[in-house]
């Protein structure tokens, strides 16, 4: 028969688990001290980098060196840095954060973002520009997911300067539009007034699909004198 002391201890342990649940993996919900457990981490769809354009990460046909995607869009940025494909299950986690206010997923996503960017950096850029939301969307959502992605980065690199810019125009999702519509959709959408002469800029977004949004921002950075513009993103959508 259990003693009163042991029963009391068991009851306390049970109540502790109800009040303070054990940390779980955001993908499989198994008990894990990390936001994403080791098994799920290794199961994430890594972006295949072989035979891809070093600038836009588009697939290059065999024996082709020049990228037709870069030529067609006249990209103004120097490179896209990403490690993950826009694919299940990571795409679902990001969607839960953006559209269902699962702010608890921030830790996992920001850690993955930093792990994707860090191996490619030899030094920090002169300024980091998160892709802004229109103020109406920001008010509805309550946060900009790009700022949340940068959380781990900023904890480890608090000296990195963040430059917030203005988004004047509420635009349609770029992926739903053709090339001409995408260009018109983003015309005069952003404003950058800072002096960027000679600076190395990193544009940060959660996902790059067509590349039109970050390219529009890269153009503005170059107009303000930026010497180099890189794009950092968590996921790159594959064609």
pLDDT in tens, 45-78: 888 878 899 999 998 988 888 899 999 889 999 9
Q: Do 5 and 99 reside in the same domain of the chain?
A: no
Q: Do 50 and 159 reside in the same domain of the chain?
A: yes
Q: Please return the burial class of 188, using the count of CB atoms within 10 Å of its CB with bins 0-12, 13-18 and 19+.
A: exposed
Q: Do 6 and 72 reside in the same domain of the chain?
A: no
Residue 3: what pLDDT? 56
Residue 20: what pLDDT? 52
Q: Do 17 and 79 reside in the same domain of the chain?
A: no
pLDDT range class, residue 109, cuts 50, 70, 90: very high
pLDDT range class, residue 12, cuts 50, 70, 90: low
Q: Do 10 and 93 reside in the same domain of the chain?
A: no
Q: Which domain holds residue 27?
A: 1-43
Looking at every residue in the chain, the average pLDDT score rounds to 86
pLDDT range class, residue 39, cuts 50, 70, 90: confident
DSSP label of 120 = G
- Rounded to whole angstroms, the Cα distance separating 63 from 66 reads 10
Residue 174: what pLDDT? 64
Q: Do 95 and 177 reside in the same domain of the chain?
A: yes
- Strand runs labelled E in the chain: 79-81, 84-85, 127-130, 166-167, 190-191, 200-208, 228-236
Q: Do 217 and 102 reside in the same domain of the chain?
A: yes
| CATH code, 213 | 3.40.50
Q: What is the pLDDT of residues 143-171, one digit of tens each?
A: 899 999 999 999 999 999 999 998 987 77
CB 138 within 8 A of CB 144: yes
CA dihedral 36, 143, 92, 18 (to 10 degrees): 50
91-100, 167-176, 223-232 — which one is most confidently predicted on average?
223-232
Peptide bond into 89 cis (omega under 30): yes
Q: Do 22 and 60 reside in the same domain of the chain?
A: no
Query: What are the tokens at 38?
Result: 């080791």
172-181 contact pairs (CB < 8 A, 24+) = 174/209, 174/210, 174/212, 174/213, 175/209, 175/210, 175/237, 179/72, 179/73
Query: What are the tokens at 145?
Result: 């997911």
Q: Do 32 and 52 reside in the same domain of the chain?
A: no
- Number of domains the chain is built from: 2
Q: Please return the burial class of 71, using the count of CB atoms within 10 Å of its CB with bins 0-12, 13-18 and 19+.
A: exposed
Q: Do 96 and 144 reside in the same domain of the chain?
A: yes
Picking from 177, 166, 162, the residue whose alpha carbon sits closest to that of residue 126 is 162
CB 84 within 8 A of CB 234: yes
């Amino acid at each position: 028969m259990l003693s009163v002391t042991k029963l009391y201890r068991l009851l306390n342990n049970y109540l502790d688990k109800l009040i303070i649940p054990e940390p779980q993996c955001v993908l499989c919900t198994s008990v894990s001290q990390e936001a994403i457990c080791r098994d799920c981490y290794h199961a994430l769809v890594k972006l295949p980098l072989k035979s891809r354009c070093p600038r836009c990460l588009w697939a290059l046909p065999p024996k082709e060196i020049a990228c037709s995607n870069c030529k067609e869009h006249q990209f103004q940025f120097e490179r896209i840095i990403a490690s993950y494909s826009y694919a299940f299950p990571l795409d679902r986690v990001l969607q839960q954060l953006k559209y269902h206010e699962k702010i608890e997923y921030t830790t996992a996503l920001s850690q993955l973002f930093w792990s994707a960017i860090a191996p490619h950096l030899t030094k920090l850029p002169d300024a980091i520009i998160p892709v802004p939301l229109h103020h109406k969307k920001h008010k509805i959502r309550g946060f900009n997911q790009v700022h949340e992605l940068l959380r781990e980065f900023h904890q480890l690199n608090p000296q990195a300067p963040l430059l917030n810019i203005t988004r004047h125009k509420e635009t349609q999702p770029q992926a739903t539009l053709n090339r001409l519509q995408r260009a018109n959709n983003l015309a005069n959408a952003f404003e950058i007034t800072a002096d960027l002469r000679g600076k190395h800029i990193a544009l940060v977004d959660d996902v790059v699909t067509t590349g039109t949004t970050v390219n529009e921002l890269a153009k503005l950075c170059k107009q303000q004198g930026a010497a180099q513009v890189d794009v950092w993103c968590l996921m790159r959508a594959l064609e």
